[in-house]
């Protein structure tokens, strides 16, 4: 496939298209794993895959299952979705290796540790502002929402005063996309003339294969980080509080009776903010009695893999002490989430600050409204009342 085909796997399968289905797709996943682990959906014109081992194969065999497709993360029905152009996430080797190789080392846990204090301070500032107004607030929009975009800005060397450019990415569509592009293009020019010690300067001056990244590639890279790393992480933070309250683990996690890192992994497995990863077959493949044909698109349901009893004991139980926990929420293989160490560090640091200052949390409504994009899963809001 030549990559020019547009990416149209943007509809929910009928059985989980309702708000109830999106809040709890897990009974459907179970049924599909047991009765139709690989099936073709005529409506969405794609294959769906539900079992852990099959998904592992699809994600690791990049020769047979290509990542090349146009992509815009966000809801394609909103005009606010950003087109990503060519980035590592939608390229196969060798181009993928070139693009990822430039930045890989800056997303390793060791390099990221230097930002821990910034993240802590950011979480404190958020809480100071919120608690000044009272102890009832929406955890998702008021506390969590701005943090990941500002964190990415910090890593790229974008000052906090410019946070509205970063956090507004999906709010007013084209304007924001244009503003972001203008701003980043200007910043790239500045860093070219006067390099600083941030990732952006490194990326600009890196010359793998003797070739610098083009201005377009640099902008696409920044947009990819913002799109792949903002809402996913907001949702991880929100899902953590949702799961810890719903399963009554707030106090154990708060006092350290349950290890926070281990509990975060279980949130990622049990209530992932990403449920699907998409590939295209580069040749005919026989699987479970079906033939996937060259050029067919495949939706690999990592949300289902995470609940596969062939892989996890008692998968429908939220167990914050589960170990090992080889969930697939960050994908697998060469495209495994570049930002996974960042998302983990951010979640640990921000939740630690939250629990240091908050002694108890109650969710103040029984209503749960799901996010309605096929790429992002979780709650739109989580109204809470806290005790300090
Ligand atoms: C809970 C938060 C996150 C989740 C659930 C998540 C999930 C994923 C998944 C499933 C993939 C694999 C896609 C594929 O194989 O096609 C991926 C790739 C990627 N993610 Fe994340 N992500 C998260 C946070 C982040 C953050 C914080 C960043 C960066 C700031 C980030 C940047 C990326 C990039 C650049 C890729 C492409 C890697 C490649 O193609 O080699 N993600 N992510």
Tell me the domain boundaries of the chain: 14-79+88-153+226-387
- Give yes or no for residue 317 having a pLDDT over 80: yes
**Distance from the alpha carbon of residue 336 to the mean position of ligand 1, in angstroms:** 7
Confidence of residue 1 (pLDDT cuts 50, 70, 90): very low
Could you tell me how far CA 358 lies from the centroid of its own chain? 26
Name the maximum alpha-carbon separation found in the chain. 61
Q: Which residue in this structure is represented by tokens 């065999």?
A: 61
Distances in Å between the Cα of 363 and the Cα atoms of 132, 250, 360 are: 20, 12, 10
For residue 67, give the ligand 1 atom closest to its CA: 16
* Mean pLDDT for the chain overall: 89
- From CA 77, how far away is CA 80, in angstroms rounded? 9
Residue 169 contacts residue 180 (beta carbons within 8 Å): yes
Between CA 214 and CA 221 the distance in angstroms is 10
Task: Tell how far the Cα of 339 is from the centroid of ligand 1, in angstroms.
Answer: 5
Ligand 1 pocket, residue 342 CB under 6 Å: yes
The tokens 């709890």 sit on which residue? 24
Q: What gap in Å lies between CA 261 and CA 347, rounded to an integer? A: 9
Query: Quick one: pLDDT at residue 237?
Result: 98
Asked if pLDDT for residue 361 goes beyond 70, the answer is yes
Question: Is 231 a pocket residue for ligand 1 (Cβ < 6 Å)?
Answer: no
Instruction: Give the closest residue to 163 by CA, choosing from 175, 173, 154.
Output: 154
pLDDT per position as a tens digit, 12-33: 899 999 999 999 999 999 999 9
Ligand 1 pocket test: which of 222, 279, 301, 340 has the largest number of ligand atoms within 8 Å of its C-beta?
340
Peptide bond into 324 cis (omega under 30): yes
Least confident range of 128-137, 163-172, 232-241, 297-306: 163-172
The per-residue pLDDT for range 97-108, each reduced to its tens digit, is: 988 988 898 999
Residue 44 CA to ligand 1 centre (angstroms)? 24
pLDDT at 86 over 90: no
CA distance 122 to 127: 9
**End-to-end Cα, the chain, rounded Å:** 56
Distance of CA 151 to the CA centre of its chain: 14
233 by Cβ neighbours in 10 Å (0-12 / 13-18 / 19+) ranks as buried
User: What distances in angstroms separate CA 357 from CA 80, 128, 303, 322, one per listed residue?
Assistant: 36, 10, 32, 26
3-class SS letters over 110-125: HHHHHHHHHHHHHHHH
| Nearest alpha carbon to residue 83 among 8, 176, 177, 3 | 177
pLDDT at residue 81 above 50?
no
Q: Is 152 in the pocket of ligand 1 (CB under 6 A)?
A: yes
Q: Which atom of ligand 1 lies at the shortest distance from residue 152's CA?
A: 30
The CATH code belonging to domain 14-79+88-153+226-387 is 1.10.630.10
Atom of ligand 1 nearest to the CA of 347: 1
Sign of the C-alpha dihedral, residues 137, 142, 143, 144? positive
The C-alpha atoms of residue 327 and residue 270 are separated, in whole angstroms, by: 9
The atom number, within ligand 1, closest to the CA of 224 reads 35
Q: What pLDDT was estimated at residue 215?
A: 83
Q: Per this entry, what is the length of the chain?
A: 388
Q: Is 343 helix (H, G, I), strand (E, B) or coil?
A: helix
Tens digit of each residue's pLDDT (9 = 90 or more) over 343-355? 999 999 999 999 9
Q: Given the structure tokens 């899902």, which residue do they identify?
A: 239
Does residue 42 come out as left (phi exceeding 0), alpha (psi in the -120 to 50 range) or beta? alpha
Whether the CB of 331 sits within 6 Å of ligand 1: yes
């Amino acid at each position: 496939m030549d990559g020019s085909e547009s990416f149209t796997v943007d509809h929910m399968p009928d059985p989980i298209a309702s708000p109830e289905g999106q809040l709890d797709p897990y009974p459907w996943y179970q049924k599909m794993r047991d009765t139709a682990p690989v099936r073709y959906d005529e409506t969405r014109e794609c294959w769906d895959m539900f079992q852990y081992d099959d998904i592992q194969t699809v994600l690791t065999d990049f020769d047979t299952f290509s990542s090349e497709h146009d992509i815009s993360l966000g809801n394609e029905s909103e005009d606010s979705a950003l087109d990503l152009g060519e980035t590592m996430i939608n390229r196969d080797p060798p181009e993928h290796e070139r693009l990822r190789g430039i930045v890989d080392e800056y997303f390793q846990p060791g390099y990221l540790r230097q930002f821990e204090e910034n993240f802590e301070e950011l979480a404190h500032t958020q809480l100071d502002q919120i608690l000044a107004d009272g102890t009832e607030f929406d955890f998702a929009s008021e506390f969590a929402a701005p943090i990941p975009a500002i964190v990415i800005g910090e890593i790229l060397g974008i000052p906090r005063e410019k946070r509205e450019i970063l956090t507004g990415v999906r709010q007013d569509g084209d304007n924001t996309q244009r503003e972001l592009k203008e701003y980043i293009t200007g910043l790239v020019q500045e860093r070219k003339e006067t390099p600083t010690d941030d990732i952006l300067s490194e990326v600009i001056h890196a010359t793998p294969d003797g070739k610098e990244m083009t201005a377009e590639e640099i902008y696409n890279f920044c947009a990819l980080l913002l799109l792949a790393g903002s809402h996913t992480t907001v949702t991880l933070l929100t899902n953590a509080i949702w799961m810890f309250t719903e399963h009554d683990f707030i106090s154990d996690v708060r006092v350290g009776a349950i290890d926070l890192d281990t509990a975060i992994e279980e949130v990622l497995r049990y209530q992932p903010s990403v449920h699907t990863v998409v590939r295209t077959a580069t040749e005919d493949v026989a699987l479970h009695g079906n033939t996937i044909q060259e050029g067919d698109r495949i939706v690999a349901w990592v949300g289902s893999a995470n609940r596969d009893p062939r892989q996890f004991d008692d998968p429908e139980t939220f167990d914050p002490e589960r170990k090992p926990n080889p969930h697939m929420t960050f994908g697998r293989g060469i495209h495994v989430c570049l930002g996974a160490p960042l998302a983990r560090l951010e979640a640990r640091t921000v939740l630690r600050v939250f629990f240091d200052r908050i002694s108890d949390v109650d969710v103040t409504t029984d209503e749960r409204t799901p996010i309605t994009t096929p790429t992002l899963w979780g709650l739109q809001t989580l109204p809470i009342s806290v005790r300090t």
